[in-house]
Amino acid sequence: MSRKVKRCNCDNLCCTVDSGIEYKTFDDGRITQATLYGVADNLENMLKRTMQNSKYFDYQYCTAMLPNTYVAKAKAHPHDIEIGAFNPDTGMDISHDRVMEKYHKTFDNEFVKVLSDANQVVARLIHYACKKGIDISKVKSIDTWMEELEQK
């Protein structure tokens, strides 16, 4: 079995100092495995970064959690082994793509749950303000905030 470790290079900054991707090619040369590790806190860290400029909200705790490791494999067809056409680097690329797909699917699903929760909190605040007659006409809409963020 051979091993190789490298960093993820995706836009979501999946890999921190304590994380990475480990690749293993098993002795029969047919199976390549990618293990993404050290990513359990990524969603929480993203939320902390997002909320760091908030004046009135302080990030305390996130109940959304990700698994710490993800594993994916690529298996060569026996015919490729027989004719010597299997390339372990190709197997690493395939297993890399698969492990990142698993990770991003889970990350995105958990992110959507957090965003849905945040929207519900905003809706409750607006409902409360309207019910109590609090003037919120000077509060920027989400669309206005989005336009400002896109201009940066």
DSSP for 19-60? -EEEEEE-TTSSEEEEEEES-TTHHHHHHHHHHTT-SS----
Residue 58: what pLDDT?
Answer: 66
Q: What residues make up the domain containing 67?
A: 2-151
Q: What is the pLDDT of residues 33-92, one digit of tens each?
A: 999 988 888 888 888 877 777 777 766 666 778 899 999 999 887 766 665 666 778 888
Contact 104, 38 (CB under 8 A): no
Q: What is the pLDDT of residues 111-120, one digit of tens each?
A: 899 889 888 9
Q: What is the pLDDT of residues 16-33, one digit of tens each?
A: 556 788 889 886 668 899
Domain count, the chain: 1
